[in-house]
Amino acid sequence: METNWRNVIKDPQEEKIFGALEDDRYDWRTVRALARESNLTEDEVGKILADHPVLVRKSSVPSGNGEDLFTLQSRFFKKKGFGIFTTSGTTPST
């Protein structure tokens, strides 16, 4: 299965979401932050994330506000291998 989103995602709205998930400033992103950055609704973002489970990883630990956190599968596996991928890198604006 292809896990590089750039080889799978072609829709411009979806590209906004996956580009935001790839942003190196954040390890994890909330739906709210992705919606704000992409100018899409939270429902639209949630549907896009749900439509691509092979590309997206949901954290088992919610944000400090209790919101679900998401990252790219490819980033998760890459960073997990080095033991440095945690949710502590998130901020309230993520």
Is 26 within 8 Å of 89 (Cβ atoms)? yes
CA distance 63 to 18: 19
> What is the structure's pLDDT at 18?
97
Is 53 within 8 Å of 44 (Cβ atoms)? no
Fold exhibited by the domain 5-79: Arc Repressor Mutant, subunit A (1.10.10)
Strand order in the sheet with 29-30: 29-30, 69-72, 56-58
How many Å separate Cα 55 from the centre of its chain?
9
> What is the structure's pLDDT at 41?
98
Parse the chain into domains and list their residue ranges: 5-79
- Going residue by residue through the chain (94 aa), what tens digit of pLDDT does each one get? 787 899 999 999 999 999 999 999 999 999 999 999 999 999 999 999 999 999 999 999 999 999 999 999 988 766 654 444 444 444 444 5
